Structure 1
Amino acid sequence: MKIKVVPSTSVINSKNQNISLEQNIKLRQNILSDQKIICIVYIQNTNGRFGNRMFLIASAYGLARLHFCHLYIELEIINKLKSVFILDLSPLLISSSTFKSLTRNRSKPMNRITKIAHCDYITTLTRPNAIPPGTIFELEGHWQSYLHFAKYYEEIRQRIFVPSQSILKKVSTFFIEYYQRQLGYRPQFVLENHQSFKKQLSQFNSTTWIGIHVRRSDFIPINYSSNDAYLFDAIKYYSARYPNAHFIVASDDKVYCKKLFGDRSNIFLTPRSFSFGDDLVVLSLCQHSIITGGTFGWWIGYLAGGEVIHDKTYPSGCSRREYYYPPWFLIDGNVRAHITSEYIL
């Protein structure tokens, strides 16, 4: 497998960039606190599971930020995401009571527009007044183009999809037990936040952690699942590139992965006690990723940053490859556009 390495320019390291982010947030808070609610980006329903909901929230956030709108998301969706993330959407997010009062205001009703999107990037939404004043702009579908929120990458990773302290504490035991077992040393990690914990892992004992997500159960019947050769080729690539590479595997088929990877000393499966949220967080703490199809794996790669190897087996459903895959996703060959077509991107 030949892979051209395109380093990610998205990972935030410098203090100056972090200060810039904080100043940007304060400026936005001042602007939104001083203005009336002129438009609302709204999510009422979701199609699909956790990864799809992340795409919807990220896209809604990106559009609200771009057009100085507020944001309203049904409580059920908020609670599902808050089971894993801090989900700091302030100051855009408005309460249910505020939203209801606006929608029931007969003297000055807000115009409601519903837009359906799945994977394609809707370029017209970047134009001024694409969401006019007095509008409730409702998102339906999947909204799986990262370009709808690419401008706010720092905020997505540092404020919104930030793991809760309880999950960070739980997944830290995975690494602590590894180092105690392998080195006879029990490290004391400072779990201030996701980024600081990730930095500690990257500096500890010169270990390079590579996350592997293997999705199988619902993908095998529809021919979306990756084959074993892809996984081993990707492991071989990282092993040659990083001499002290260690791999963490999360999967919906742990029995299969246990048989596949056997007792390799540098490949570890996440514990059975881990939830899907624990799996997502522990893989996002890795420096690089190997992912198979699906939005859950996509978000693992996006939140982890670094190099991300993605299999071409999974059809993105996009009309253009770059709508779904950031330029730092390293893909083995062309990507199928749709399951019902031989067309490739």
Structure 2
Amino acid sequence: MFKFASAYGLARFHRCRFYLDEPYMKILNATFTINITFLNILKSEYLTLSGIGYRDNTACHYSQKLMLPNSIRYLELTGYWQAYRYFINYTDELRQQFTFRPNIIQTIAPFILQELKGRILCQPTCIHQNQSNITLGNIETTVKDQLDLKNKLRELPFTLVGIHWRRGDMMRPNKQAYGHTVSSFTYLQKAMNYFLEKYTNVIFIVTSDEKNYCKNIFSNNSKVIITPDKFTGEQDLAMLTVCQHTIVTSGTFGWFAAYLAGGDILYDKLSPAKNSGLERDCPPSQYYPPEFIPMRR
């Protein structure tokens, strides 16, 4: 997603076209409604090009030189390209490109709408029915597409905050030696309190690569909904992007969930580890846009 976004941003900035290799297009199109026909060149045309320059960006370093007039003729991107400034001016367009396919949205909608439906009736920790014009019968759990689901969620008397808590692979010794960190529960509590103090009727939607761990941690928290184990990565990402705000731990999954969702975005200031190889390769100032809010654990 970062590489596509950077290529898209560079093409739009320089008013040129770009070619997305078929395997990449197939992967992206399986999840999103990508439409780059106004920018794309055909494979037959791409194969006739000569003098292509290759530029590797293995992490998050931004090159101002690439943004100079006439700095690009033919350029092929390799590596990760995780520097937001290549594409930040085209956020609205990229959110449109990264719109989830209706079949993915239609599989997550019944889950989240039913969960919220159950919180509207009067319970000690829930919202009393007379506090809202919403009634159980009015909540339709079938949707057409992503916009339809977002509109339905906005009509409900809740503030939805997505959390992606990445743990699994980040706990490997080689990952930690490089500078990857696992955000603590203390950080999440502090970030959650930020939203509880700022907004009303907050519900947290938690996704993770260790959902059983999350279930144990949040077992007594009625304000937390954890997505089902059967949800795929695509479904979890879609769930986060229809929330109004986001709490980010580490990894690009949470970064893009927050970028696509918008709203208030909190991230762990202690990720990556200070003075680590990852911090040198991926400086936070070039990885996190200014609207992402740093928060210490």
- TM-score of the pair, normalised by structure 2: 0.85
Q: Which runs of 5+ in 1 are unaligned?
A: 1-53, 104-109, 335-345
2-structure distance, mates of 1:90, 1:281: 24
Q: In the TM superposition, what are the counterparts of 1:9-48 in structure 2 within 5 Å?
A: none
1:136-183 Cα shifts (integer Å, max 9, x gaps)? x1111111011000111110012x111101011111112221133333
Contact 2:166 2:182 in 1 (8 A): yes
Residue 152 of structure 1, aligned match among 62, 83, 90:
90
SS of equivalent to 1:331: strand
2-structure distance, mates of 1:323, 1:268: 32
2-structure distance, mates of 1:119, 1:240: 33
Residue 321 of structure 1, aligned match among 272, 284, 287:
284
Aligned partner of 1:197 in structure 2 is 149
Amino acid at match of 2:284: R
Contact 2:3 2:82 in 1 (8 A): yes
Matched, 1:277 2:234: yes
TM-superposed CA distance for 1:297, in Å, is 0.7
SS of equivalent to 2:200: coil
* Closer, same or farther: CA 88–191 of 1 in aligned 2, 3 Å: farther
Amino acid at match of 2:119: Q
* Closer, same or farther: CA 202–155 of 1 in aligned 2, 3 Å: same
Contact 1:121 1:323 in 2 (8 A): yes
Amino acid at match of 1:167: I
Aligned partner of 1:76 in structure 2 is 23
Aligned partner of 1:218 in structure 2 is 169
Matched, 1:121 2:73: no
* Closer, same or farther: CA 190–123 of 1 in aligned 2, 3 Å: farther
Instruction: State the percentage of identical aligned residues.
Output: 35
Contact 1:288 1:304 in 2 (8 A): yes
SS of equivalent to 1:70: coil
Contact 2:106 2:144 in 1 (8 A): no
Q: In the TM superposition, what are the counterparts of 1:1-345 in structure 2 within 5 Å?
A: 54-100=1-47, 102-103=48-49, 110-117=50-57, 118-132=59-73, 135=74, 137-158=75-96, 160-183=97-120, 185=136, 187-188=139-140, 191=143, 193-204=145-156, 206-221=157-172, 222-223=175-176, 224-315=181-272, 316-317=279-280, 320-333=283-296
TM-superposed CA distance for 1:277, in Å, is 0.4
SS of equivalent to 1:82: helix
Aligned partner of 1:49 in structure 2 is none
* Closer, same or farther: CA 180–189 of 1 in aligned 2, 3 Å: closer
* Closer, same or farther: CA 317–307 of 1 in aligned 2, 3 Å: farther
1-structure distance, mates of 2:66, 2:76: 13
TM-superposed CA distance for 1:58, in Å, is 0.3
1-structure distance, mates of 2:196, 2:27: 36
* Closer, same or farther: CA 70–225 of 1 in aligned 2, 3 Å: same
Amino acid at match of 2:269: K
1:27-84 Cα shifts (integer Å, max 9, x gaps)? xxxxxxxxxxxxxxxxxxxxxxxxxxx0000000111111222211221111112221
- TM-score of the pair, normalised by structure 1: 0.73
2-structure distance, mates of 1:233, 1:282: 22
Contact 1:209 1:288 in 2 (8 A): yes
Amino acid at match of 2:255: W
2-structure distance, mates of 1:91, 1:319: 32
2-structure distance, mates of 1:152, 1:192: 26
TM-superposed CA distance for 1:317, in Å, is 4.4
Amino acid at match of 2:244: Q
- The count of corresponding residues between Structure 1 and Structure 2 is 269
